[in-house]
């Protein structure tokens, strides 16, 4: 396991953490600030300990900072002021307040990111609990800082001598922690991706009718940009999700007379198989273990003379494994086998050529980095309307009406046009660099990864955790510390997997910062387990 140089922030839960909290409490509020008497044990247990929730900062498995939160009255301030409700503005609901106390950071870490990290965790707890506000006893020397965060004085000073405090409050409407102090979260999710300010600006403009000429002109530009990006001859832009796009493809396949082959080596390959069953497609399913690529000999055997079409996922989102379009195209060679590909996790993230593909799908809210809500179907032949297909799934109607047979969204289309203006050649290079860097760092740290090392670059990487680590616990910690990883899907939780993706353009610097926190979380979890085993042995 790689040694981390990062700080780790969490809610205290374990006995060894509480002992360190008591020591830090004594150092700060007995030795540094003369609020309590010193003792030989150098341990100070707060009088509200049993109702406190402690957020702690850790470095090398040691508590270096803390802050506490409690929501049961009477508060510490109630004992100093009497009923705090008599001092607070009438609009503050005292029954939904919490009290924040015991902010303490070891001296050598006070000019670091520890304070911001504690605030980030505090903010998450505050939001999850749904508090209407909070009160604090702000030490006078830090009053300016508390005001900057958004706290407001509300009563006379309390305490005496070297331990004088200003009672302060903050309401839910004035919480500014996330905007003023906390850095923006970084997303490593496979979708929806975080979009740029330019895309959001385009999306937020006043919408206009899909019947206007200006809309059709914009639709024409967007479709040209999409076909140029993919080398497809045609594309239809639909109002919906990737599920709609793949249902539209299935509807087209239902019109064919020949038999098909569906490839499945992950969750989304299985979804193609389920869709084929719902549409009563005449096909067989070739399955592999999740994350395992299809080998040339088994594909050659499966692509016999009875197969008229093949349907598969380009990048299997559930693992990151890439089923290569080029290799399958070469295997098909000159045979009249129609190739149908789900490219939802690759278009905009990897170079993709659809020149020899029969049908392919993608969406706006992944590698293209636009707002979610638009689905694309690519193809290279003229498609006519067919009354056997439900109208909303009839690709021929979209072909006939230049993607606008029904109501459409100018806002989503404007955002998409802005997103498509980026330099995708640079994006593809960035994804390749990110993949190589992240894979190397995780591999050297001893983690098991998908796709396997000998497979193609992917915009998605899966960390297969051993049973000693919990993907849900790690994912929750990472999110509260500013990094969103993919772990909430049931198919990932069932396998104890966590995913890191770069469908949006995340920098190497942000990736390294995320990895440092990831290593810190995993290392600390193992440290706690080792401590528990030692305690049981003794």
Q: Which domains does the chain have, with CATH numbers?
A: 8-183 (3.40.630.30), 187-191+424-537 (3.90.1150.10), 197-419 (3.40.640.10)
Q: What is the pLDDT of residue 132?
A: 85
What CA–CA distance (Å, rounded) separates 497 from 344? 21
Class of residue 107 by CB neighbours under 10 A (exposed 0-12, middle 13-18, buried 19+): exposed
Cross-strand bridge partners of residue 498: 463
Go through the chain and tell me how many residues it has: 538
Contact between residue 459 and residue 424 where contact means Cβ atoms under 8 Å apart: no
Q: What is the pLDDT of residue 418?
A: 98
Q: What is the pLDDT of residue 533?
A: 52
DSSP 82: S
Q: What is the pTM of this model?
A: 0.87
DSSP 75: P
Q: Any residues with CB less than 8 A from the CB of 67 and at least 6 apart, and which?
A: 54, 55, 100, 101, 102, 103, 104, 118, 122
What CA–CA distance (Å, rounded) separates 414 from 425? 22
What is the maximum span of the chain, computed from C-alpha positions, in angstroms? Answer: 92
What CA–CA distance (Å, rounded) separates 293 from 282? 24
* Tokens at 278, concatenated: 């719902």
What CA–CA distance (Å, rounded) separates 184 from 362? 28
Q: What is the pLDDT of residue 74?
A: 93
Q: What is the pLDDT of residue 2?
A: 42
Q: What is the pLDDT of residue 366?
A: 97
What CA–CA distance (Å, rounded) separates 175 from 266? 43
What CA–CA distance (Å, rounded) separates 435 from 443? 12
Task: Tell me which residue of 211, 208, 138 sits closest to 169, measured CA to CA.
Answer: 138
Q: What confidence tens digit (pLDDT) does each residue in 325-335 have?
A: 999 999 998 88
What CA–CA distance (Å, rounded) separates 409 from 454? 43
Which residue ranges of the chain lie beneath pLDDT 50? Answer: 1-4, 536-538
């Amino acid at each position: 396991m790689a040694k981390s140089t990062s700080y780790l922030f969490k809610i205290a839960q374990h006995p060894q953490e509480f002992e360190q909290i008591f020591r830090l409490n004594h150092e700060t509020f007995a030795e540094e600030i003369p609020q309590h008497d010193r003792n030989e044990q150098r341990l100070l247990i707060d009088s509200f300990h049993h109702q406190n929730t402690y957020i702690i900062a850790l470095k090398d498995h040691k508590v270096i900072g803390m802050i506490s939160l409690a929501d049961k009255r009477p508060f510490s301030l109630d004992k100093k002021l009497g009923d705090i409700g008599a001092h607070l503005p009438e609009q503050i609901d005292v029954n939904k307040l919490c009290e924040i106390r015991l902010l303490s950071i070891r001296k050598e870490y006070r000019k670091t990111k520890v304070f911001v990290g504690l605030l980030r965790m505090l903010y998450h707890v505050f939001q999850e609990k749904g508090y209407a506000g909070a009160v604090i006893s702000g030490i006078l020397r830090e009053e300016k800082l508390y005001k900057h965060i958004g706290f407001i004085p509300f009563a006379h000073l309390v305490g005496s001598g070297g331990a004088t405090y200003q009672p302060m409050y903050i309401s839910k409407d004035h919480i500014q922690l996330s905007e003023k102090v906390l850095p923006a979260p970084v997303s490593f999710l496979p979708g929806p991706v975080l979009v740029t300010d330019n895309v959001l600006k385009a999306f937020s403009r006043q919408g206009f009718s899909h019947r206007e000429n200006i809309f059709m002109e914009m639709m024409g530009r967007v479709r040209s940009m999409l076909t140029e990006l993919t080398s497809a001859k045609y594309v239809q832009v639909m109002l919906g999700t990737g599920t709609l796009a793949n249902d539209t493809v299935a509807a087209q396949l239902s019109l064919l007379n020949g038999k098909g082959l569906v490839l499945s080596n992950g969750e989304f390959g299985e979804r193609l198989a389920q869709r084929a069953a719902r549409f009563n497609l005449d096909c067989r399913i070739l399955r592999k273990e999740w994350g395992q690529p299809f080998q040339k000999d088994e594909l050659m055997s499966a692509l016999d003379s009875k197969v008229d079409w093949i349907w598969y996922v380009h990048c299997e989102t559930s693992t990151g494994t890439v089923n290569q379009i080029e290799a399958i195209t070469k295997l098909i060679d000159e045979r009249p086998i129609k190739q149908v590909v789900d490219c939802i996790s690759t278009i905009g993230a990897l170079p993709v050529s659809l020149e020899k593909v029969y049908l392919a799908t993608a969406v706006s809210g992944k590698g293209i980095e636009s707002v979610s809500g638009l689905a694309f179907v690519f193809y290279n032949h003229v498609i006519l309307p067919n009354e056997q297909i439900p109208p909303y799934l009839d690709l021929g109607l979209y072909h006939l009406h230049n993607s606008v047979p029904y109501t459409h969204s100018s806002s989503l289309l404007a955002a998409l046009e802005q997103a498509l203006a980026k330099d995708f050649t640079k994006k593809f290079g960035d994804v390749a660099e990110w993949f190589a860097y992240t894979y190397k760092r995780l591999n050297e740290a001893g983690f098991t990864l998908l796709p396997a090392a000998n497979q193609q670059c992917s915009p998605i990487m899966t960390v297969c955790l051993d049973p000693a680590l919990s993907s849900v616990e790690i994912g929750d910690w990472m999110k509260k510390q500013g990094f969103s990883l993919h772990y909430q899907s049931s198919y990932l939780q069932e396998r104890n997997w966590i995913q890191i993706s770069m469908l949006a353009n995340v920098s190497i610097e942000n990736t390294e910062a995320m990895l440092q926190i990831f290593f810190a979380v995993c290392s600390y979890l193992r440290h706690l387990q080792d401590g528990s085993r030692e305690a049981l042995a003794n």
